[in-house]
């Protein structure tokens, strides 16, 4: 069953109250009536009871209807109010509606039909107003929340900016430290290598085979250490933008041939074959000779380092009239797909354990990548675990020095 509507009638004239009540009782709507004859009682009731609608006489003995409407508004009491006016009081009714009343009705035109229509309308309008008010309230709240979030984000952005500056500063210090340290270490390392080379000459006195073995080890290890120090120094130079490119015309075929031959002994020590296949009608290129040499040394020494059986191939060919490719292929341990992207990042090695078999700084490929980029080229790798890897560098035949 439909729940009865709670109606309050505030009117000092009992006849008028009855007229409203009787007229409304004629419509088939469950209604409950409460009646009071002055504003004070009306307000007291409205404070403690929830009404669906209030019929309010605009002229009450203790206050006028307008003051009452305003008081209810101030108290935050939300209820649909229908003002009952006398003949010719429309102006007052309009004022009351401006103050918050829903509608008005001339007492002379009180009839069941008009009353029920006005009542329904007032309840609907009031409901709609409440919904708008609620939506507005929610909007205001979410606006506030957004403002707060915005403020928080702004603060976070500032903090990130500060942290970024700190990081840049720390990074600069780290690069500076690496550059200084590797530079300082190179001098004693060169001395160790120089003196061990003198001892290896065995002049004037020969060494025992044990001494020879020890000195040879000192020399080999210092050479490895020097390579690592040079890598660190080169890397910090690249990071600081102090690695200068010098473009010149040179014979790529002979550079590849000579450089590969320098590393042949490393391949021979591991019983690996080293084959060089150069297919260039015109071997002249314009690029940075020492960069190309460094790239080849890095790729070739990695290929030898990470291959235990089989061999290594260096191939050079012309891709288009303006582009040359150099590939270093091996039948080595290969690289798992998940490591293919990271190996070009500084200090990244597939085997990061301290017990790894191969020495290295993890900087070789990062340096190689930077050098290739400086020469306006690209490097990519394809690899299969246990089968081998192919590192392919593509360079412009003529470096564009205006870029
Ligand atoms: P490093 O050789 O000093 O460790 P690199 O930057 O030259 O550093 O290489 C990074 C890593 O990439 C190596 O540690 C190795 O795990 C992997 N890698 C590079 N070249 C090869 C290769 N030819 N075969 C297998 N793995 C390789």
341, two tokens: 């992207």
- Residue 302 CA to ligand 1 centre (angstroms): 6
Residues 295, 378: contact at Cβ < 8 Å? Answer: no
Q: pTM here?
A: 0.62
- Model pLDDT for residues 188-223, shown as the tens digit of each residue: 999 999 999 999 999 988 999 999 999 999 999 999
Q: Is 189 in the pocket of ligand 1 (CB under 6 A)?
A: no
Residue 351 pLDDT: 77
pLDDT of residue 355: 63
| pLDDT for position 2 | 63
Q: Give the pLDDT score at 182.
A: 85
Atom of ligand 1 nearest to the CA of 348: 10
Number of alpha helices (DSSP H) and beta strands (DSSP E) in the chain: 9, 12
What band does 42 get if pLDDT is binned at 50, 70 and 90? very high
Ligand 1: which of 362, 369, 393 to mutate, judged by most atoms within 8 Å of the beta carbon? 362
Q: What is the rounded CA–CA span in Å between residue 76 and residue 203?
A: 109
> For position 1, what pLDDT does the model report?
52
Using CA atoms, how far apart are residues 394 and 219, in angstroms rounded to an integer? Answer: 36
Query: What tokens were used for 289?
Result: 């000779």
Position 389 scores a pLDDT of 98
pLDDT of residue 145: 97
Report CA(16)–ligand 1 centroid distance (Å). 100
CB 382 within 8 A of CB 390: yes
Q: How confident is residue 239, by pLDDT bands cut at 50, 70 and 90? A: confident
Query: What pLDDT does residue 107 have?
Result: 83
46, 94 contact by CB (below 8 A) = no
pLDDT at 236 over 90: no
pLDDT band at 91; cut points 50, 70, 90: confident
Asked whether residue 352 carries a pLDDT value surpassing 80, the answer given is: no
Distance CA 237, CA 235 (A): 5
Please measure the distance between the N-terminal and C-terminal CA atoms of the chain and give it in whole angstroms: 85
Neighbours of 348 (CB within 10 A): 15
Give the nearest ligand 1 atom to 228 CA.
3
The protein residue with its alpha carbon nearest to ligand 1, atom 25, reads 334
Mean pLDDT of the chain: 91
303 lines ligand 1 (CB under 6 A): yes
Q: Is the CB of 316 within 6 Å of ligand 1? A: no
Q: What is the dihedral of CA 194, 195, 196, 200, to 10 degrees?
A: 100
Work out the percent of the chain whose per-residue pLDDT is above 70. 97
Cβ atoms 33, 5 nearer than 8 A: no
Q: What is the structure's pLDDT at 381?
A: 97
């Amino acid at each position: 069953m439909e729940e009865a509507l709670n109606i309050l009638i505030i009117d000092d004239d009992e006849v008028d109250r009855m007229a409203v009540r009787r007229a409304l009782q004629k419509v088939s709507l469950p209604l409950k009536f409460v009646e009071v004859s002055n504003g004070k009682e009306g307000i007291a009731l409205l404070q403690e009871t929830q009404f669906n609608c209030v019929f309010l006489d605009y002229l009450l003995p203790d206050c006028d209807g307008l003051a009452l409407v305003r008081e209810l508004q101030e108290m935050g009491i939300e209820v649909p109010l229908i003002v009952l006016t006398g003949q010719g009081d429309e102006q007052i009714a309009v004022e009351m509606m401006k103050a918050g009343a829903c509608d008005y009705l001339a007492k002379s035109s009180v009839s069941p039909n008009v009353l029920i229509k006005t009542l329904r309308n007032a309840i609907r309008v009031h409901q709609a107003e409440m919904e708008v008010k609620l939506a507005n309230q929610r909007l205001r709240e979410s606006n506030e929340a957004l403002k707060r979030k915005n403020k928080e984000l702004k603060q976070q952005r500032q903090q990130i900016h500060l942290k970024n500056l700190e990081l840049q500063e720390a990074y600069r210090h780290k690069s500076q430290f690496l550059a200084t340290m590797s530079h300082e270490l190179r001098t004693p390392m060169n001395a160790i290598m120089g003196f061990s080379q003198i001892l290896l000459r065995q002049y004037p006195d020969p060494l025992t085979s044990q001494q020879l073995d020890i000195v040879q080890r000192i020399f080999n290890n210092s050479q490895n250490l020097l390579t690592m120090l040079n890598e660190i120094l080169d890397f910090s130079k690249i990071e600081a933008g102090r690695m200068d490119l010098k473009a010149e015309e040179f014979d790529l075929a002979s550079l590849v041939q000579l450089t590969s031959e320098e590393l042949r002994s490393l391949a021979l020590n591991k019983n690996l074959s080293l084959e060089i296949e150069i297919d260039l009608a015109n071997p002249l290129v314009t690029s940075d000779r020492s960069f190309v040499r460094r790239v080849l040394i890095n790729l070739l020494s990695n290929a030898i380092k990470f291959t235990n059986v089989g061999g290594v191939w260096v191939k050079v060919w012309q891709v288009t009239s303006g582009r040359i490719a150099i590939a270093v292929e091996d039948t080595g341990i290969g690289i798992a797909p998940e490591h293919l992207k990271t190996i070009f990042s500084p200090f990244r090695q597939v085997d990061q354990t301290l017990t790894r078999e191969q020495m290295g700084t993890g900087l070789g490929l990062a340096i190689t990548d930077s050098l290739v980029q400086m020469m306006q080229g690209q490097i990519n790798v394809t690899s299969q675990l246990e089968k081998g890897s192919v590192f392919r560098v593509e360079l412009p035949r003529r470096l564009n020095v205006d870029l």
